[in-house]
Structures are given as structure tokens and as C-alpha cells.
Structure 1
Amino acid sequence: MITGTLHALALATLPDTLYALLARPECSLASLQAMPDGRWQPEGPDWFCHIGDSQTAPIDQRHTEYHRQWLDIQVLLAGEEIIRYDVADARQAPAEERKPDLFIVEHAQLRQQLHLQPGDFAIFAPGEAHQALCAVDKPARVRKAVFKVSPDLLRGKR
């Protein structure tokens, strides 16, 4: 798991390929905030992004998920949220695949959490369990950009 903010991207010490992706002019906070909701994929099959509104909820009402195929970059565009997570590999835990590459884990042990505000991001590698969209004080609307990046991009494969 890697975290940082678009306001000080260099401080996140990202791998070169992820830094290059997030440093693109169209990935600045202002540019992402101005994009319409929906799927955005300017570079072909190596990565794509979903932009849209969501509703936060109390922790006990949010599911815990992980992915096997995609690296997840969650960028908060508006509002605030808590993301709970753990860096242990969750791929061996019993899970239900609800959508392609969306595995829901019951009774996950999430030992860490982040409080995200606009411009902040969290990056989850395949197998890292995370519980996004947890309410800070009370349920509220947030807007996010969620990038799905092929791990092959990090390995220099295309």
C-alpha cells in the first residue's frame, strides 16, 4: 500500500511508471475534478479510470475487498473518507467474487486506516484488502477517481 497526495506527488516516492501516470496534466486534481463521470481510458489496456460519486457509510456497513488482476489507485476528488486496510496478502482468505476482479472478504482483519481529503490517494496492490468509503463522522457524498492499473505496467511489460 502506498499513500500520498497529488499536491506533493514527489513525496510519495512512487515507482516511476505510477509517478508518470499521476503526474500527467490530465491527472492533476483540477483536471480530474473537471472530468465527467464514467470510464476514462486514454492509454489503451495498461490502465483505465472510473470517475464518479459515491456515498460513505459507517464502517460496519462497508465491505472489505481486494483485487487479483488490477492495482487500485483511489484518488479522492471531493469530500472526505476513511479507508481501512491491511498489507497482509488476502488472496488466501475465503472470498466471494462479486464482479470480475472484485473479491469480498468476510471478517477481514484491517489493522490500519487512512483519512483522505481532496487530492489524497491510496494505492493497493493485488491482494491488499481495503475497506473504502467509510464515513468520517456521518455518511456523506464523495467523488473519486479510481484507476485500475495492470501490474505488468510496473514490470515494464505491455
Structure 2
Amino acid sequence: MRGFGIRNKEGHPMIFGNIESTDLSTIGHEGVRRAIRWAREHDLSALPCGRNDIDGDALYVNVAEYDSKAFEDCKFEAHKRYIDVQVVASGIERIDSQVIAKCEAGEFDEEGDFMLLEGEAATQVILEPGSFAAYFPDDAHKPGIAVDGASHNKKCVFKVLV
């Protein structure tokens, strides 16, 4: 299976696929390929919550457990220094996305590489165990949205330095 890519107006793709069946040669960013390859080779459900280093600040994975929330309780976020490769280890959630240029941006937190935004979704993906979505710095993304009611999720967010 090839990964499914959606290009924003700047030409950067939001990539969606399955960690086991996506053909890594179709993914144009080496850091994203490294994250997916690492996810294939490790039991994500066994990772402890918090930061797990892979290659220092160049590639690491933040693991969290939480309950998915109602759409109106979720916010768009974006990052400048990192690509997010989000992989659900257990549970299910929807992630909406939009090009940052079409959103109203809040203040950027340089130390946390984090910004909240307001806007309308252009795309939606459903993440179930084994599926992934990669969001580049031009992509605002709204994670954690409940699908048919709240679920308890364990998610791994690989942080890939750009």
C-alpha cells in the first residue's frame, strides 16, 4: 500500500497511511520514513508515557494516554521546528487539518514549538491502531476528536526535526 498524500497550497504533503503496509519509498521526507520504520520495529503499546528518545532532538516520540473529546473541545495546533507523525497505539480518533494560512493563528510558544489556531477543517482522517498521519509545519491539525463517542487512546507522536 502506498501512503496517501494530500498537498497543501505550499506543496507540502500531509501524509496518511498504515505503518505496516505503507511503501516507505513513496514518502519524500527521510525523517518521516525513519519515524515510520521505527514504529514498525517497536511495540508502541509498550512504550511508557512521556518523551522517548530515538535520536536526541532530531527524532523522538511523545507518548500519551487520554480520552478523545468532543469536536468543540479540541483545538487546532501547529509547530514550526517539527513534523508530527501521529500514530495511534490503541483507541480511535479523528484529526482535522487545514493549511495554517487559512487559520487565525494565536501566539507562538517558541520554547514549546506550539501554537493554537482557529479555523475550518479542509481534511479529516480517522486514526486507528497502526494508522499514521504526518503533519508538516504548514499544517494546522486538530487531534483527539472522538469518533462515535469518546475512547481511551494511547498515541505516539513522533517529533521529526525539519
TM-score (norm 2): 0.81
Name which of 27, 30, 50 aligns with 1:14.
27
Q: Which of the numbers 97, 102, 106 marks the counterpart of 1:85?
A: 97
- Is 1:94 the equivalent of 2:108? no
Report the structure, 1 or 2, having the larger strand content.
2
Q: What corresponds to 2:65 in structure 1?
A: 53
Contact 1:62 1:134 in 2 (8 A): yes
Is there any run of 5+ residues in structure 2 with no aligned partner, and where?
1-13
Partner residue, 1:124 = 135
Q: Following the alignment from structure 2 to structure 1, what is the Cα–Cα distance between the partners of residues 35 and 74?
A: 29
Alpha-carbon distance in structure 1 between the residues aligned to 2:67 and 2:136 = 24
- 1:97 Cα deviation (Å)? 3.3
Structure 1: gaps (5+ residues): 152-158
Q: Structure 1: how far apart are the matches of 2:67 and 2:108?
A: 22
> For 1:47 and 1:41, how far apart are their aligned partners in 2?
7
Cα 1:20–1:68 change in 2 (3 A) is closer
* Comparing 29-38 and 134-143, the one that deviates more: 29-38
Where do 1:135-154 residues align within 5 Å?
Answer: 135-151=146-162
CA–CA separation in structure 1 for the residues paired with 2:148 and 2:66: 16
CA distance in 1, matches of 2:68, 2:152: 6
Q: Does 1:73 align with 2:90?
A: no
- Over the residues paired in the alignment, what is the CA RMSD in angstroms? 2.1
Asked if residue 113 in structure 1 is aligned to residue 124 in structure 2, the reply is: yes
Q: Offset of 1:94 from its aligned partner?
A: 2.9
The 1-side partners of 2:86 and 2:40 are apart by 13
4+ runs deviating over 4 angstroms: none
Deviation at 1:111, TM superposition (A): 1.7
Judging changes above 3 Å, is the alpha-carbon distance between structure 1 residues 91 and 113 closer, same or farther for their aligned structure 2 residues? closer
Provide the identity percentage: 27
2:16 alignment counterpart: 3
Per the alignment, residue 51 of structure 2 pairs with 39
